[in-house]
Amino acid sequence: MQRNHNRGTAELRPFEITANYLKNPEGSVLMTLGATKVICSVSVEDSQPPFLRGTEKGWISAEYSMLPRATKERTRREATKGRQTGRTIEIQRLIGRALRAVVDLEKLGPRSLVADCDVIQADGGTRTASITGAFFALKLALARLVTNKVLPENPLKDDLAAISVGILPEIGPVLDLEASEDQQASVDMNIVMTGQGEFIELQGTGEEATFSGSQLNELLYLGTKGIEQLITAQRYQFDKLQHPYDTSDLSQNTVVIATRNAGKASEFKAMFASDGLQVKTLNDFPDLPEIEETGKTFEENARLKADTIARVLDLPVLADDSGLQVAALHGRPGIYSARYAGDHNDAANNAKLLYELTGVPKEKRNATFHTTLVFAKPNQPENDLVVDGEVNGYILGIPRGDNGFGYDPLFLVPELDKSLAELTADEKNKISHRGNALRNLEKVWRDWLK
Ligand SMILES: O=c1[nH]c(=O)c2ncn([C@@H]3O[C@H](COP(=O)(O)OP(=O)(O)OP(=O)(O)O)[C@@H](O)[C@H]3O)c2[nH]1
Ligand SMILES: [Mg+2]
C-alpha cells in the first residue's frame, strides 16, 4: 500500500485557511485539507444559556452538519429526517469543548458565541478540519470584538488545532487520514491540541484491531507535528491579516529567499546578480515571525521555510537549509549547525567545534558542507523543487581568513589549500555547497516555474 500522491507518513495534505470567507458572521473561514472542505463561521449573540443567567460568564457552542452531496453518494439532510444523528451530536459537542478550552469565558462576558461548521465536501478528517477552521473563525470574531471595543481585553488564551492520525496496513502510523485511508485504517485517532502543545482531547480507537503503547506514542508524535504546522499557518495567516505584506513593488525579476542569515543572503545576491535577478530576504519583511526549524532533515527544514513563506507572501520562495557534517562527530552538527552552541552565534559554534575535535588528528578531521535548496510555489508543497549541493574538506585546528560566515574560517578546501574564509565571495561560490546546489537548481528551476 502506498499513500496517494506519494504522501509521506508524516505529511499533511495541502491545506488552506481562507479568512473572512463570508460577509455576515463576525468570524468566518473556508478550511480545506486535501479534498475536505468546511465552512466555519462564528456568530456573537447577546444572550447566555439558561444555566449561566445571572452570572457574568459567556459560553461557546458549536453546530456541525454535512451537505447532502459532501459525500460520494447523496446523504439525506438531517433536517428532512427530522433529527440529528448521534455522530453529529458527538462531533458538535467535541468542537464546542475544544473551543471553550482556549477561551477565558469570564472575560468573554455575558454573551454566547456559536460556531457553525458546515462540511461542503468530505474526504476524511471533517471533524478535525472543523475544529481547526472554527478556531480560526473564533480568533477572527474575538479580534473584531476587541477592535470594536465590545470587549476591553481579548479572552483568547491559546491557539488550537486538530488533526487525525491512524495506522495503515503495510505502512504503519501516519498523519492525516483521507477517506480512502480511513476505511482501511486498523486504528484511527483524532487529536485536539493547543498552541502550547497541551492536549484537549484524544479519541483513539482500534477497529477489529489493537494498538500498543509505542504505536500510541508514534501517533501522538505525528499528530503533534501536524498540529504544529496548522497552528504555525494560522498564526502567519492571522498576522498577515493584521499587517498585510506588501509585495506589490516586487518586480518579475525578484527572487524571494526565506532566510534571515546575512551571509547566505549576500551569497545568493551575488549568484543571482549574474542572471539579472534581484534578491529579497526575510529581512525585507521584518514583520514575518520566526519559523521554527522542527524538521529532522535538511530537506524537511528547507521545505518548512519555503512552504510557509510562499504561503504567506503568495509568491514562489526559495529556502536554504545547510550545515556542516563532521565525520569524527558522526555527522554532527548537521541540521543543528546554526544552533550548535545554543543560540545562533558563529564564534561560540566554532569554539565548540574545535573543542569537540580536540586531539583528533588531521586526517580524521574530514567534513562536508551540505545545502538543500527548496523552491516552493504557494500552497503546492507536492510540487516543491528540491536540490542538494556539497563540498568536502577538513576542519582546521586554528581559524584562517576573514571572509564568509559561520564555520568558513575552520573549513579547509584541500584542492586550494585555503579555508573558505580565505576565498573571495566569487571563489567560494565556485566550489561551495551553496554554489553547487544553485548550479543544480539552475538546470531545472526555469522549467519548474513556468
Ligand atoms: O561557514 C559556513 N559557511 C557556509 O557556507 C555555511 N552554510 C551554512 N553554514 C552553517 O550552517 C548553519 C545553517 O543553518 P540554517 O540552514 O538553519 O541557516 P540559518 O539559521 O543561519 O538561516 P535561515 O536560512 O534558516 O534563516 C549556518 O547558520 C552556519 O552555521 C555555514 N557555515
Ligand atoms: Mg535556520
Indicate the SS3 state at residue 438.
helix
pLDDT of residue 236: 86
Q: What is residue 405's three-state secondary structure?
A: coil
pLDDT digits (tens, 9 = 90+) for 133-171: 999 999 999 999 999 999 999 999 999 999 999 999 999
pLDDT band at 422 (very low <50, low <70, confident <90, very high): very high
Query: Among residues 321, 343, 426, 447, which one is catalytic?
Result: 321
Q: What is the dihedral of CA 406, 409, 414, 418, to 10 degrees?
A: 130
Neighbours of 333 (CB within 10 A): 20
**321 in catalytic set:** yes
> What residues flank ligand 1, with Cβ below 6 Å?
259-261, 264, 293, 320-324, 337-338, 349, 369, 404-408, 411, 420, 432, 434
74 among annotated binding-site residues: no
Sign of the torsion formed by the C-alpha atoms of 254, 255, 259 and 264 = negative
- Is 406 annotated in a binding site? The answer is yes
Q: Give the number of the ligand closest to the Cα of residue 353.
A: 1
Closest Cα partner for 33 from 186, 195, 216, 176?
176
Residue 313 has a pLDDT of 87
Paired sense of beta strands 160-168 and 172-175, if any = antiparallel
How confident is the model at residue 351, as a pLDDT? 96
Of the candidates 279, 321, 328, 324, which has an alpha carbon nearest to the alpha carbon of residue 302? 321
Cβ–Cβ contacts within 10 Å for residue 227, how many? 26
Per this entry, what is the length of the chain?
450
Rounded Cα gap, residues 42 and 103, in angstroms: 14
Among protein residues, the one with the nearest Cα to ligand 1's atom 20 is 338
- Cβ within 8 Å of residue 300, ≥6 positions away: 294
Spatial distance between the Cα atoms of 363 and 385, rounded to a whole number of angstroms: 36
Residues in the 5 Å CB sphere of ion ligand 2: 338
Render pLDDT for 94-122 as a digit per residue (tens, 0 to 9): 999 999 999 999 999 999 999 999 999 99
Q: What average pLDDT does this structure show over 15-26?
A: 96
213 is in an annotated binding site: no
244 has pLDDT over 80: no
Angle (CA) 363 365 370, round 5°: 130
Quote the ligand 1 centre to 11 CA distance (angstroms): 25
Beta bridge partners of 36: 33
Domains of the chain with bracketed CATH: 4-242 (3.30.230.70), 254-449 (3.90.950.10)
| 264 annotated to bind ligand | yes
Distance in Å, CA 278 to ligand 2 centroid? 22
Question: Facing residues of 174 across strands?
Answer: 166
Distance separating alpha carbons of residues 234 and 226, to the nearest angstrom: 13
Average pLDDT value for residue range 182-206:
97
To which residue does cell 545547510 refer?
322
SS3 115: strand
Contact 399, 422 (CB under 8 A): no
The answer to whether the Cα torsion of 233, 234, 239, 242 is positive or negative is positive
Q: List the residue whose alpha carbon is closest to atom 10 of ligand 1.
A: 323
Residues 344-396: tens digit of each pLDDT: 899 999 999 999 999 999 999 999 999 999 999 988 899 999 999 999 999 99
Q: Burial letters for 419-438: b for 16+ Cβ neighbours within 10 Å, e otherwise? A: bbbbbeeebbbebbbbbbbb
